[in-house]
């Protein structure tokens, strides 16, 4: 390359080059060929960086085809393949054409048949160079700077010989950058990349064709690909590789399949976007009893299958067994459960690292049932089937000797007590784990009882107040964690009772994972301790992907702590304010769907939240929203938004239904009202409901039938749902299950979200039957705009006839755009300020 260019450029100065057009044109192919060698290096290098995305599947990449591409060019003197190899002797599949001096060019280059592998939308990426016509000597009238790309669908290779006019045009391709011979001199490589997409495709494959009509082009590479959402495991459900939809705005709903050893909790679903991203995860699977979640699997050892009896005496049975067929990891220990036949409710558990034990202290001549399970780092496997063995009978001599009976009774009793003490000692070792081990028959019974009430439809929320001893409630619903298992890392917030920290929890046999830790500050009163732990007693009763999950409590050492799952993005209101305007409507609806699903669960459990607000929703790094803040003192002492009502209770007025404010009628229907306010907060990215109106004004306006106006750019269907949630008659409000279904429908059919609330009606709604803005606090348009730091627009407003506050009151979003206020942030500021003024003046909002 260097030598050729040098040869060409050294022969002449720039002016000489103009006088030597033919030399340049004749040398063009040769130059291009050399340039391509350079480009190829560049392209090959970048390809490994740029194209190794999992969600892109190549159907053709001309750079990687080693043999003949099999493309056809006609007429024969049109497109030409450059018969070059790169430094590794791999062929360079590059085509060029440069018939800029001849009239009526029509040069076609047809690819071979490309299977679409089931994709209905495919992408074509072209890399090419194009010569700038102006730089060609003599101002060549015939020279073009574009070429055309076509396709033809066919199920097999038969379509190859079709006529030109049967091809469907994809686009005319122009270069962003064309090159001149000066660029050649400077050795500047102007490689263009253009991508076009085609769909929906209905056949099995297609041909591409490139038509040149008189340009000077080198087609360096052609890559054809489709996008897919790659197979993932989310919430213990596996979602298959999914080819994106045919439409560029289509979201495909995909059902997940629970991973091995897990079962459906709520049917898991996700949505595959046209860009190949997974969006809006819904539902989840749970590991089956005996399995634990680890790295998105429930991999636990298979059950012990063969158990053999060893030595049997009248008071003991020795057993041995073999390792499970599929240990699926290193077996850490075995758990042996045994009980006297037909006495299952009272059983004993022994843990052993060996594959044998001796159970002693048994009754003579009695049948015992044994079950064994193994534990690996992934948790416990299932129990083996039941094995039944009998102790030896008491010898006749002994049994006839009545005098021995008290001794036997005493020794059996002592044996049992000793055994219990030993087991207790073994299991109470200061290991990181829940100190409620399963050795206590009462607990296992309790567990069973809990398991029973966990059945859908049967389980209801139990108010911890109903327990005489609140400590009992905590220990019933929350696991005790050893403080030594917790590492506190940093303070992330302030709760009513003390600091909220982030940190890590390492339980025995489990991976360390991040947690949030609420602490009870020192010097607490007994009531504060009770109220603090009350939240854990409530939270511990819930198990749902959209409810904050309780890991456990620390009550046996100080500070007293509540440990929950960690939500990376903190509280939803702050998160939305920080990321104003950053999410797609679908993402926002996904958040709302999660909250509604959590609330459905709570209402099914018979739990009324009473303080549902964006500040009490937490959001994690996957944008999954979870309902939190289950204070026991439901007078909402800890909510800074809560204000005392005339009846004495503290209520977050702006979020609360009128009947709850007026006569404390808190129900799931009043939670639905609050949910409507949360919808409004989400769609307006954390705006304060009713802005700076006073609580008294809010109560009055709502009572008079006014409602919040639609947030900006809000889909009409969502605003309608908000208004439904704010029905005065609480029985007319939708139920949470209806809200979930409605949001699901919208997610499945995103085009239903395209109709936005009409911007002008949004504003004029506020003004009905009320006095004009002109009588407000601002004396002039300039003063108002200055006050909201939008003074730069004063002149534009005045020039366009908005010279009084009365006139300003009529401004709509369209007007703003017309006036040249194009920045969305500025539009929002102005419209929100107008709304605020109007709302304050009319002392009300959108009349229903």
Total residues contacting ligand AMP (rule CB under 6 A)? 14
Are 229 and 273 in contact by the 8 Å Cβ rule? The answer is yes
Least distance in Å: CB of 561 to ligand AMP?
A: 12
Least distance in Å: CB of 792 to ligand AMP?
A: 36
Q: What is the dihedral of CA 495, 499, 502, 504, to 10 degrees?
A: -120
Alpha helices (runs of H) in 454-486, residue ranges in sequence order: 470-477
Least distance in Å: CB of 515 to ligand AMP?
A: 8
Are 721 and 711 in contact by the 8 Å Cβ rule? The answer is no
Q: Which 513-572 positions form the footprint of ligand AMP (CB under 6 A)?
A: 516, 548, 564, 566-567, 570-571
Residue 686 has phi, psi (to 5 degrees) of: 85, 20
Residue 151's Cβ-side half-sphere holds a number of Cα atoms within 13 Å equal to: 23
Pick the catalytic residue: 531, 573, 611, 639? 611
Residue 709 has phi, psi (to 5 degrees) of: -75, 165
Choices 273-281, 305-313, 489-497, 746-754 (CB under 6 A): range interacting with ligand AMP: 489-497
Helix (H) or strand (E) run with residue 68 in it: none
Rule CB under 6 A: say whether 488 interacts with ligand AMP: no
Choices 203-211, 259-267, 493-501, 550-558 (CB under 6 A): range interacting with ligand AMP: 493-501
In this complex, which beta carbon is closest to ligand AMP, that of residue 184 or of residue 550? 550
Least distance in Å: CB of 477 to ligand AMP?
A: 17
CB atoms within 10 A of CB 103: 8
Least distance in Å: CB of 516 to ligand AMP?
A: 3
Are 520 and 528 in contact by the 8 Å Cβ rule? The answer is yes
Q: Which residues pair with 765 in a beta bridge?
A: none
Tokens of 645: 């009502």
Cβ contacts of 342 within 8 Å, gap of 6 or more: none
Choosing from 492, 635, 716, 819, the residue that interacts with ligand AMP (CB under 6 A) is: 492
Residue 119 burial (CB < 10 Å; 0-12/13-18/19+)?
Answer: buried
**Helix 585-604 and helix 668-683, axial crossing angle in degrees, nearest 10:** 170
Give the DSSP per-residue string, 141-209.
TT-BSEEEEEEEEESSGGGGG--GGGSEEEEEEE-SS-B-HHHHHHT----EEEEEEE----SSEEEEE
Residue 357's Cβ-side half-sphere holds a number of Cα atoms within 13 Å equal to: 17
Are 774 and 839 in contact by the 8 Å Cβ rule? The answer is no
Helix (H) or strand (E) run with residue 624 in it: none
- Residue whose C-alpha is closest to residue 669's, from 599, 745, 619, 757: 599
Least distance in Å: CB of 520 to ligand AMP?
A: 11
Least distance in Å: CB of 533 to ligand AMP?
A: 14
Q: What share of the chain is helix, strand, coil (3-state, %, to 5)?
A: 35, 25, 40
Structure letter (DSSP) for residue 485: G
Is 558 labelled a binding residue?
Answer: no
Our answer to whether residue 611 is catalytic in this structure is yes
In this complex, which beta carbon is closest to ligand AMP, that of residue 130 or of residue 478? 478
Are 379 and 328 in contact by the 8 Å Cβ rule? The answer is no
| Cα 447 from Cα 434, distance rounded (Å) | 14
| Cα 464 from Cα 643, distance rounded (Å) | 25
Q: Is 682 left (phi over 0), alpha (psi -120 to 50) or beta?
A: alpha
Q: Which 749-768 positions form the footprint of ligand AMP (CB under 6 A)?
A: none
Least distance in Å: CB of 567 to ligand AMP?
A: 4
Are 238 and 268 in contact by the 8 Å Cβ rule? The answer is no
- Dihedral sign of CA atoms 294, 295, 297, 300 in order: negative
Q: What is the dihedral of CA 668, 671, 673, 679, to 10 degrees?
A: -130
Whole-Å CA distances, 502 to 164, 484, 511: 66, 15, 17
Least distance in Å: CB of 540 to ligand AMP?
A: 14
3-class DSSP assignment, residue 719: helix
In this complex, which beta carbon is closest to ligand AMP, that of residue 390 or of residue 499? 499
In this complex, which beta carbon is closest to ligand AMP, that of residue 220 or of residue 561? 561
Least distance in Å: CB of 564 to ligand AMP?
A: 5
Lay out the site mask for ligand AMP across 599-618 (x = CB under 6 A, - = otherwise).
Answer: -------------------x
Tokens of 230: 């790659």
In the bound state, the residue with its beta carbon closest to ligand AMP is 493
Give the DSSP per-residue string, 517-563.
EEEPPTT--HHHHHHHHHHHHHHTT---TTBPPEEEEE-SSSS-EEE
Whole-Å CA distances, 603 to 31, 598, 599, 669: 74, 9, 6, 9
Give the DSSP per-residue string, 740-752.
HHHHHHHHH-GGG
Choosing from 500, 635, 756, 807, the residue that interacts with ligand AMP (CB under 6 A) is: 500
Are 784 and 778 in contact by the 8 Å Cβ rule? The answer is yes
Least distance in Å: CB of 574 to ligand AMP?
A: 7
Least distance in Å: CB of 494 to ligand AMP?
A: 6
In this complex, which beta carbon is closest to ligand AMP, that of residue 217 or of residue 619? 619
In this complex, which beta carbon is closest to ligand AMP, that of residue 628 or of residue 670? 628
Choosing from 125, 335, 531, 629, the residue that interacts with ligand AMP (CB under 6 A) is: 629
Binding positions for ATP are: 518
Binding positions are: 518
Q: Which are the catalytic amino acids?
A: 611
Contacting residues toward ligand AMP, per CB under 6 A: 492-493, 495, 500, 516, 548, 564, 566-567, 570-571, 618, 628-629
């Amino acid at each position: 390359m260097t030598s050729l260019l040098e040869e060409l450029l050294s022969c002449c100065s720039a002016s000489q080059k103009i006088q030597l057009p033919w030399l340049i044109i004749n040398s063009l192919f040769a130059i291009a060929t050399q340039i391509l060698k350079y480009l190829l290096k560049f392209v090959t290098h970048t390809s490994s960086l740029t194209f190794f995305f999992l969600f892109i599947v190549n159907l053709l990449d001309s750079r990687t085809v080693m043999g003949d591409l099999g493309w056809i060019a006609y007429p024969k003197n049109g497109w030409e393949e450059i018969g070059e190899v790169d430094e590794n002797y791999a062929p360079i599949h590059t085509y060029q054409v440069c018939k800029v001096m001849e009239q009526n060019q029509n040069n076609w280059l047809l690819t071979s048949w490309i299977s679409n592998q089931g994709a209905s939308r495919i992408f074509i990426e072209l890399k090419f160079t194009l010569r700038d016509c102006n730089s060609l000597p003599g101002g060549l009238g015939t020279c073009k700077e574009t070429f055309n790309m076509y396709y033809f669908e066919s199920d097999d290779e038969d379509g190859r010989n079709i006529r030109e006019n049967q091809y469907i045009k994809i686009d005319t391709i122009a270069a962003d950058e064309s090159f001149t011979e000066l660029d050649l001199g400077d050795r500047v490589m102007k490689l263009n990349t253009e991508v076009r997409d085609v769909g929906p495709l209905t056949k099995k494959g297609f041909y591409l064709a490139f038509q040149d009509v008189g340009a000077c082009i080198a087609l360096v590479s052609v890559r054809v690909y489709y996008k897919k959402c790659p197979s993932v495991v989310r919430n213990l459900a596996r979602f298959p590789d999914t080819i994106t939809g045919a439409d560029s705005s289509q979201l495909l709903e995909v059902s997940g399949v629970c991973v091995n050893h897990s079962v459906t909790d709520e049917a898991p679903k996700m949505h595959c976007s046209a860009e190949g991203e997974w969006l809006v995860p819904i539902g989840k699977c749970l590991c089956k009893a005996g399995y634990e979640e680890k790295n998105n699997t429930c991999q636990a050892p298979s059950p012990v299958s063969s158990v053999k009896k060893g030595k049997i005496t009248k008071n003991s049975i020795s057993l041995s067994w073999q390792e499970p067929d599929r240990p699926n990891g290193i077996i850490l220990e075995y758990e042996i459960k045994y009980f006297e036949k037909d006495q299952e409710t009272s059983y004993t558990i022994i843990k052993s690292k060996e594959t044998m034990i001796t159970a002693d202290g048994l009754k003579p001549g009695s049948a015992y049932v044994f079950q064994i399970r193994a534990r690996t780092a992934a948790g416990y496997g299932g129990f083996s089937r039941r094995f039944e063995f009998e102790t030896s009978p008491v010898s006749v001599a002994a049994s006839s000797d009545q005098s021995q009976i008290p001794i036997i009774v005493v020794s059996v009793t002592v044996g049992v007590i000793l055994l219990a003490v030993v087991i207790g000692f073994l299991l109470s070792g200061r290991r990181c784990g829940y100190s409620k081990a399963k050795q206590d028959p009462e607990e296992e019974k309790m567990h069973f009882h809990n398991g029973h009430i966990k059945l859908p439809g049967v389980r209801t929320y139990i108010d911890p107040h109903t327990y005489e001893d609140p400590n009992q409630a905590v220990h019933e619903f929350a696991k005790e964690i050893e403080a030594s298992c917790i590492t506190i890392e940093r303070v992330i917030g302030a709760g009513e009772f003390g600091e909220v920290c982030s940190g890590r929890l390492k339980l025995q046999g489990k991976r360390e994972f991040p947690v949030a830790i609420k602490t009870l500050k020192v010097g607490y009163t007994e009531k504060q301790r009770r109220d603090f732990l009350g939240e854990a007693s409530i939270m511990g009763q819930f198990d749902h992907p959209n409810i904050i999950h309780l890991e456990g409590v620390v009550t046996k050492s100080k500070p007293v702590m509540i440990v929950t799952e960690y939500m990376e993005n903190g509280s939803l209101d702050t998160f939305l304010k920080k990321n104003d305007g950053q999410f797609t409507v679908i993402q926002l609806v996904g958040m709302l769907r999660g909250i509604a699903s959590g609330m459905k669960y709570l209402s099914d459990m018979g739990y009324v939240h009473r303080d549902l607000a964006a500040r009490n929703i937490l959001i994690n790094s996957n944008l999954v929203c979870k309902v939190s803040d289950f204070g026991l003192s439901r007078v909402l002492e800890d909510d800074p938004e809560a204000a005392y009502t005339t009846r004495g209770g503290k209520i977050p007025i702006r979020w609360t239904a009128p009947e709850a404010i007026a006569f404390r009628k808190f129900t799931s229907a009043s939670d639905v009202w609050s949910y409507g306010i949360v919808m409004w907060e989400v769609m307006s990215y954390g705006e304060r409901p009713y802005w700076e109106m006073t609580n008294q004004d809010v109560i009055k306006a709502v009572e008079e039938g006014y409602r919040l106006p639609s947030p900006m750019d809000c889909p009409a269907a969502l605003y309608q749902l908000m208004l439904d949630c704010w029905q005065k008659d609480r029985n007319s409000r939708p139920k949470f299950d209806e809200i979930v279904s409605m949001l699901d429908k919208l997610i499945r059919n995103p085009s239903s979200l395209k109709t936005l609330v009409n911007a002008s009606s949004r504003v004029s709604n506020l003004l009905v039957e009320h006095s004009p803005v002109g009588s407000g606090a601002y004396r002039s348009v300039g003063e108002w705009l200055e006050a909201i730091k939008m003074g730069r627009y004063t002149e534009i407003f005045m020039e366009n006839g908005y010279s009084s506050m009365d006139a300003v009151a009529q401004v709509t979003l369209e007007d703003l755009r017309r006036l040249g206020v194009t920045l969305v942030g500025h539009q929002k500021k102005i419209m929100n300020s107008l709304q605020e003024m109007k709302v304050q003046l009319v002392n009300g909002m959108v009349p229903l």
